[in-house]
């Protein structure tokens, strides 16, 4: 009977440790970094839809924007 109790104790310990690890893994912060401010999130939000609704008011052409595209966009989206 002693070995059965030991076996059950070991299983209980392993399950408890497993549950603790699962709970820790589901924690929202992992103890790293910081929550960004609304201003930081707005600065990172540079997505522009195909319709161009997110673009600022103004005018321009593809030729006029080619330098800007080469500087800010081509690294990820390619030359063309």
Q: How far is CA 76 from the centre of its chain?
A: 18
Q: How many domains does the chain have?
A: 1
For residue 12, give its domain range: 1-29
Per-residue pLDDT tens for 17-68?
Answer: 877 777 666 666 666 788 889 999 888 877 888 888 888 788 888 888 899 8
Task: Assess if residue 11 is contained within a domain.
Answer: yes
At residue 1, the 3 state secondary structure works out as coil
Task: Assess if residue 12 is contained within a domain.
Answer: yes
pTM score above 0.85: no
């Amino acid at each position: 009977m002693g070995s059965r109790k030991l076996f059950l104790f070991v299983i209980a310990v392993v399950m408890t440790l497993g549950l603790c690890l699962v709970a820790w893994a589901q924690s929202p912060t992992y103890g790293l970094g910081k929550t960004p401010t609304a201003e930081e999130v707005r600065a990172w939000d540079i997505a522009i839809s195909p319709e161009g609704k997110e673009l600022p008011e103004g005018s321009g052409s593809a030729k006029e924007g080619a330098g800007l595209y080469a500087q800010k966009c081509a690294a990820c989206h390619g030359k063309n």
